[in-house]
Homo-oligomer: A and B are copies of this chain.
Amino acid sequence: MMVETKVDGRVQRGERSRRVILDRAMDIASVEGLESLSVRRLASELELSKSGVFAQFGSKEELQLATVRAAVEVFVAEVVKPARRAPVGIRRVWALADSWLTYAAAPIFSGGCFFLSAVSEFDARPGRVHDAVAAARRDWLRLYETAVAEAIELGEIDADADPANLAFELDAIARVAGQDALLFDDPSYYDRARRLVRARLKTMATATSPVIP
């Protein structure tokens, strides 16, 4: 029993410190990029032993990959799950845009959406980190596209609409607005994006489509 408790305690402490390290890593990466992460820097900023951080993550690349995985989890919790509470159809498409904008505007990471930064940083650099970032973006676009396709099936969005193209356009409006809000230090960009997405969805809505909240 004693031994088990001790081991459990150690495992828990290990998980806690892993969490603390990854939270800090995501925040640094959102501002300065994944390349600025290092075992040494995280250990020093969090006052942990370098060997302890190294034992958790090993190489810099492993640390970067673990940070991307942690950011996917945050994204799912903050964007995907809240949007899934909206009913399938045009309201869920709207909810995806709306909850993405809420997440980008919220002070979750100091540098705005983690993936906006990570995509720009790794789009032209091949390797495992690039592949993880590209997979995350692909998953998000597919989720969005599926939501549009479902809305078309339900007769809430025009049957002429191309699900992948409409999802891409709506996401592009939100993404660039999120980036401009940061660049110009002007949060009005988030609501501007909401107005544009709403207007675009209205032009694609059918006569029987439910009202977007």
Footprint of B on A, CB under 8 Å? 30-33, 35-36, 110-112, 116-117, 119-125, 130, 133-134, 137-138, 165, 168-169, 171-173, 175-177, 179-180, 182-184, 192, 195-196, 200, 203
Contact = CB atoms under 8 A, between A and B. Distances in A.
Given A112-B124, A168-B176, A196-B165, A183 B33 contact: no
Contacts of A122: 183
Contacts of A119: 120, 179, 183
Greatest chain B CB density within 10 A among A35, A133, A183 is at: A183
Contact of A179 (B120, B177, B184): B120
Contacts of A172: 172-173, 175-177
Contact of A176 (B125, B138, B171, B182): B171
